[in-house]
Structures are given as C-alpha cells and as structure tokens.
C-alpha cells in the first residue's frame, strides 16, 4: 500500500500474526469518527469473528495526539444544517451498534487509550475487554459543553463509577488521567507510552492477558480517588442546582473550579445528563442504556442546544454559546422529560 493510499483510508485494517489491527486513520482530525469509519470497524469485527487466524483485536489511533477525539460533530452539524438530520440518526445508530458489538465480542479487544480519548473515543475502547491507558491519557465525556449529553454508552460507564465520580465527570466534562480512568472503571491497564510498540508487537503472537500482565505497571495515585469524599457528598444532590449550591459551599478549591466549569455548560444538557445518569444506573444492560442515549441524542439535535454548542465551538469558534434556555431555573421538567421519549422514527431497539 502506498503512503498516499493509506492516507485516503479512514481506517487501516491488517492482520499481523494472530492480531487483527484496527487503526483509526484521521490524525489531522484527531481520528474523529465518521460513518465510513464506524462501518469499517463493524465489518472488520464481523469478518474476524469467524477468522481462526485472529485471536485478539487491537483498536488504536494514528498519529501521536491520541486515540480519538469523538464523533465528527462538525459533519453532523453540517448535515442538520443541510436539511439531512437523518444522517446523524444513521451515524448514531451504527456507532451505538458498534459499541454494543465491542462489549460482547467473543475475542479479546485491546483498546489503546493513549493521548486524547474523548466521547466516541471512549465508546470505541472502553467497552472492550482490555483497556490500556498511559501517562499521556486524557479520558473524558465533554458533551455538555457542546449542548449534547454523554452517549456511546458513556452514561452506562459513568453511572457505574465509584460513588459520584461519574456524575462529576459528566457534569464538568473535564478529562481525567489514566490513573483516574482506571479508578473509575473506564480502563484496566497502565502502560508507559514508550512500551506501546513492544506491547503491540507482543500481541501479534501472545495471549492478550499475558502480554498486558507483562507490560502493565501500577498506576499512579488517582486524584479523583483522593477527592472522592467531598465529590460523593456534593454530587449526591438531587438536582443540578442543588449540586452547584453544594459545590459553592465547599472549601476545596477544586469544588469552586467545578462549579465555575459547570455554570458555563448548556443548562438543558446538564439537566438531561443528570437524569440520564440516574436512569442508566437503574437499567440492566449496556443495550438498554444505548437505547436511552439514542433517544436523548436525537432530542439534543431537534430540541436541545447541540447546534448552538457546535456553532460556538467549531464553526464560528467564538466560545460564546447562547444557550436556550440560558438559566437552569428556566429548564422545565416537561422539557427534560421530552428528551427521553421514543423518537418519531422509532427506537434503536438494541435491547429488544
């Protein structure tokens, strides 16, 4: 394959020894996911399911900045603006099916969460069987900052993090370290980034668990674990407004910083996200949660702040979104409830 040809392929697929290697290949866009990429991954997973040569699947990102910055939200924005919102529906339906497929794959799936791993990057790695972080990892679900809500099974993962750490991550949208990701249940193995090439080479012949046991080291102390006592108290409040009140009453500088951060996010997205997290904690399977997230995602486009958030962040880049409603107190419960209703075109149906 020529270098030019490789650059044109958004996903590189290769079988090396017993390793099926999936490389997200849009490094200039920080490997943000497109429909073509999701389809390629799904097709590879299906092909390798019955391929006796492939004993382990690897998911990694091209370039040196990270695994994946998330879905290509600018493309979704452009599709809606062009009067083709069905393209966003089709993308999320395929992406969430990919997330579910990864969680139940019959062979080990190793996700290299080195560097930036946000949103859809978490979805394509954190549902696998062997999740690897490094000292460079920045893992997070930043969706509330663009008028969206955590998806790709993010509310499933965050609602099952220890205590209220997942609520803190979801409402601030702030990325966490590799050590924090392990403590929160988003990752399993801590490997120095300088060892990744050797690790991948070893995976071409060796058992995934044995290889990771060899290369993984003890993770550093988790900052979130150290802050868990006040985080658990604050985020146990029943409403976003209550959480903000609790944060502002604390003496910890990190609490004040969190309050300031949350106050800049979409009020609608904050309320929807908190309800989605509390609901996800009661649902029994990833598929049920993905079905709920599908409803919420579509509603964020049609009745939420998604378009305005993307405009302010990626289109005009003025970083001054005009959220509507602009204040938490103006986001009514009926408005929030509407995000969880079955879409006009029907449900995703993963849990049927």
What's the distance, CA 143 to chain centroid? 9
Distance CA 250, CA 182 (A): 26
Sign of CA dihedral 64, 23, 159, 261: positive
Q: Which residues of 330-341 are buried (b: 16+ CB within 10 A; e: fewer)?
A: ebeeebbeebee
**Residue indicated by tokens 């965050």:** 158
Query: Which alpha helices (H) appear in the chain, and where do they start and end?
Result: 3-8, 35-49, 73-81, 86-103, 120-123, 154-159, 165-172, 178-183, 196-203, 208-215, 223-226, 228-234, 240-249, 253-263, 267-282, 286-302, 306-310, 333-338
Please tell me whether residue 56 adopts helix, strand or coil conformation.
strand
CB distance 63 to 112 below 8 Å: no
Count of Cβ atoms closer than 10 Å to residue 12 Cβ: 16
Contacts of 64 (CB under 8 A, 6+ apart): 115
DSSP state of 268: H
Phi and psi at residue 81, to the nearest 5°? -65, -30
Hey, which residues does 66 pair with through a beta bridge?
115, 116
Active site residues: 71, 120, 143, 151
**CA proximity to 24, closest of 65, 74, 64, 61:** 61
């Amino acid at each position: 394959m020529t270098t030019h040809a490789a650059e044109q392929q958004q996903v590189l697929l290769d079988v090396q020894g017993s390793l099926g290697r999936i490389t997200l290949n849009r490094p200039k866009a920080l490997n943000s996911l497109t429909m073509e990429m999701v389809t390629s991954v799904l097709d590879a997973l299906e092909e390798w399911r019955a391929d006796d040569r492939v004993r382990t699947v690897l998911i990694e990102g091209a370039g040196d900045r990270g695994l994946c910055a998330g879905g290509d939200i600018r493309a979704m924005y452009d599709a809606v603006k062009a009067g083709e919102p069905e393209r966003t529906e089709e993308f999320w339906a395929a992406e969430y099916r990919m997330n579910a497929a990864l969680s139940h794959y019959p062979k080990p799936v190793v996700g290299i969460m080195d560097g930036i791993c946000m949103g859809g990057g978490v979805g394509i790695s954190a549902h696998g069987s062997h999740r690897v972080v490094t000292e460079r990892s920045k893992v997070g679900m930043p969706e509330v900052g663009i008028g969206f809500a955590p998806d790709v099974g993010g509310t499933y993962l965050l609602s099952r993090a220890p205590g209220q750490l997942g609520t803190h991550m979801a409402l601030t949208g702030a990325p966490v370290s590799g050590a924090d990701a392990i403590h929160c249940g988003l990752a399993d193995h801590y490997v120095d980034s300088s060892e990744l090439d050797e690790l991948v080479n070893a995976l071409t012949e060796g058992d995934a668990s044995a290889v990771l046991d060899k290369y993984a080291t003890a993770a550093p102390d988790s900052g979130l674990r150290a802050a868990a006592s006040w985080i658990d108290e604050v985020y146990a409040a029943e409403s976003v407004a209550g959480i903000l009140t609790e944060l502002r009453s604390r003496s910890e500088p990190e609490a004040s910083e969190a309050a300031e951060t949350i106050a800049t996010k979409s009020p609608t997205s904050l309320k929807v996200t908190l309800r989605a997290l509390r609901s996800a904690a009661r649902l029994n399977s990833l598929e049920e949660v993905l079905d709920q997230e599908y409803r919420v995602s579509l509603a964020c486009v049609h009745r939420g702040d998604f378009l305005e958030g993307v405009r302010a962040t990626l289109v005009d880049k003025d970083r001054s979104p005009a959220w509507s409603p602009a204040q938490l107190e103006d986001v009514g419960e009926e408005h929030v409830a509407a995000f969880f209703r079955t879409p006009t075109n029907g449900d995703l149906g993963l849990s049927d």
